[in-house]
Structure 1
Amino acid sequence: MTFGEQPAYLRVAGDLRKKIVDGSLPPHTRLPSQARIREQYGVSDTVALEARKVLMAEGLVEGRSGSGTYVRERPVPRRIARSGYRPPGGATPFRQEQADAAVRGTWESRSERAEAGAGIAERLGIAQGDPVMCTHYVYRDSCDVLMLSTSWEPLALTGRTPVMLPEEGPLGGMGVVERMAAIDLVVDNVTEEVGARPGLAEELVALGGVPGHVVIDIRRTYFASGRAVETADVIVPADRYRLAYHLPVR
């Protein structure tokens, strides 16, 4: 293959993708059969099959048992605003992250004591096996699952304090900054590492996705005077949401 040439299956997939994007193949339309693709593009069955696999992996089409392959309805991505700034007495962190002020998000949570694994221990600056409070969240925007999150807090800091359980007690649900301030830890810095990857099977089931869908993977850590007080993994479906960051210039 010389420079600039495309494998036949990518050429076929590219043409079908263009038809899906420009509306020539609208949502819920049946994709041309493998035999039809073979005839139309003058390619082999193998090439036609690989082209269909590409479109399925990209989330543009979906297979329906006993019926065929159809163009998927493509959601219009919505914004999730993320910012290190929150006005005093303002909304909870989750409400702040929603782009539409009219939307009322809800969440479910479950906390449990755990031992820090190697990766989490490194992020928190503690020893592997040290006790942490692990909290699992499912966030909903109206009826849809907006994102999943798992957070870890060192029990060396929060154990036997009123904020040991993030969603219970006098400051339950108020967020890391307010809760840590209650035990004299002033959060002054937060980092977020953002990546993308194929969603795990259990994540996609919870998020309402299909196998192969990509998720945005945010690794967030809060610091107080250089010491990590909380770290979290936040998982967002990449086809439905875009992250919008507000970054103040000093």
Structure 2
Amino acid sequence: MPFGEQPAYLRVAEDLRQQITDGTLPPHTRLPSQATIRARYGVSDTVALEARKVLMAEGLVEGRSGSGTYVRERPVQRAICRSGYRTLGECSPFRQEQADERVRGTWEGRSDRAEASVAVAERLRIEVAEPVMCTQYVFRVAGEPTMLSTSWEPLRLTGRTPVMLPEQGPLAGRGVVERMAAIDVVVDNMSEEVGARPALAAEARLLGGLAGHPVLVVARTFRAGGVPVETADVVVPADRFRLAYHLPVR
């Protein structure tokens, strides 16, 4: 294949993508069948199938059992604001993850004792399999699931204290900074790393999307000095939301 020339399945996918983008194939329209694609573009069944797979991987179409493949309704993308100016004290878990004060969100969470995985142990700078408190949240706005959060706190730090369970006790739901301050741990910095990957099946079920569609993952760690006291993965469906940062300039 000459340099720069696209494979046939990508050329077919590009043409179909353009038809979806310009409205020739509007949402809920059935995508041309494999036989139609084969005849229209003069390609093989394999090429037609691969072109449809590309569009499905991009989230432009979806398969309906026994019916065919249809153009998906494209949601209007909204911002999830994360700001360096936010007040972390006296804030709920939702307020930690959603800094836009105009938004009124709800959440549900569950905490369980667990053993630190290799990745979690590295982020918390503890031993693999060391006890941690794992808390899982589902956040919603107007009833719509917007993000998931799974956090881990080392029980060597919070075990047998009033703040061991983030959603129970005298400081339930008050946020990492205030909870840690109650046990004389001063949280003074936080880092975030943002990446993207396909959604896992369990994540897609909770977020109302499809497995394999892209999600943004924010790996966040709170520290007291250089000591990590909590780390979390925040998962956001990338087709519905974008992350908007407002950071101070020093």
- Please give the TM-score of this superposition, normalised by the length of structure 2: 0.94
Per-residue CA deviation, residues 153-182 of structure 1 (Å, 9 max, x unaligned), is 111211222211111122111111111112
**CA displacement at 1:2 relative to structure 2:** 1.1
Per-residue CA deviation, residues 109-160 of structure 1 (Å, 9 max, x unaligned), is 1111122122111111111222211111111111211111111111121122
Counterpart residue number, 1:245: 245
**CA displacement at 1:17 relative to structure 2:** 0.4
Q: Does 1:116 align with 2:116?
A: yes
**Greater Cα offset, 24-33 or 95-104:** 95-104
Distance 2:150 2:89 in 1: 25
Counterpart residue number, 1:144: 144
Write the letter of the residue equivalent to 1:142. Answer: A
| Structure 1 stretches lacking a partner, 5+ long | none
Per-residue CA deviation, residues 38-74 of structure 1 (Å, 9 max, x unaligned), is 2221212221111111111111011112221110001
Per-residue CA deviation, residues 62-105 of structure 1 (Å, 9 max, x unaligned), is 11122211100010111011123323777535236447645421
Q: Do the aligned partners of 2:91 and 2:173 also contact (CA within 8 Å) in 1? A: no
Q: Does 1:235 align with 2:235?
A: yes
Q: 1:83 to 1:190 in 2, by over 3 A?
A: same
Distance 2:234 2:100 in 1: 20
Q: 1:80 to 1:55 in 2, by over 3 A?
A: same
Counterpart residue number, 2:28: 28
**CA displacement at 1:185 relative to structure 2:** 1.4
Distance 1:115 1:88 in 2: 27
**Greater Cα offset, 143-152 or 90-99:** 90-99
Q: Report SS of the residue matched to 2:193.
A: strand
Q: 1:40 to 1:2 in 2, by over 3 A?
A: same
The count of aligned residue pairs is: 250
Q: 1:89 to 1:130 in 2, by over 3 A?
A: closer
Q: Report SS of the residue matched to 1:85.
A: coil
Counterpart residue number, 1:66: 66
Q: 1:203 to 1:89 in 2, by over 3 A?
A: closer
The percentage of aligned residue pairs carrying the same residue is 74
Distance 2:215 2:241 in 1: 10
Counterpart residue number, 1:170: 170
Write the letter of the residue equivalent to 2:13. Answer: A
**Greater Cα offset, 97-106 or 115-124:** 97-106
**Greater Cα offset, 84-93 or 145-154:** 84-93
Distance 2:178 2:96 in 1: 14
Q: 1:131 to 1:158 in 2, by over 3 A?
A: same
**CA displacement at 1:21 relative to structure 2:** 1.1
Write the letter of the residue equivalent to 1:219. Answer: A
Counterpart residue number, 2:226: 226
- Write out the 4+ residue segments of structure 1 that deviate beyond 3 Å after TM superposition: 87-93, 95-103
**Greater Cα offset, 92-101 or 229-238:** 92-101
Counterpart residue number, 1:7: 7
**Greater Cα offset, 122-131 or 90-99:** 90-99
Q: Do the aligned partners of 2:81 and 2:100 also contact (CA within 8 Å) in 1? A: no
Counterpart residue number, 1:181: 181
Q: Do the aligned partners of 1:191 and 1:221 also contact (CA within 8 Å) in 2? A: yes
Q: Do the aligned partners of 1:84 and 1:190 also contact (CA within 8 Å) in 2? A: no
Counterpart residue number, 1:104: 104
Counterpart residue number, 2:158: 158
Q: What is the CA RMSD across the aligned residues, in angstroms? A: 1.7
Counterpart residue number, 1:131: 131
Distance 2:13 2:249 in 1: 43
Aligned runs of 1:180-219 on 2, under 5 Å? 180-219=180-219
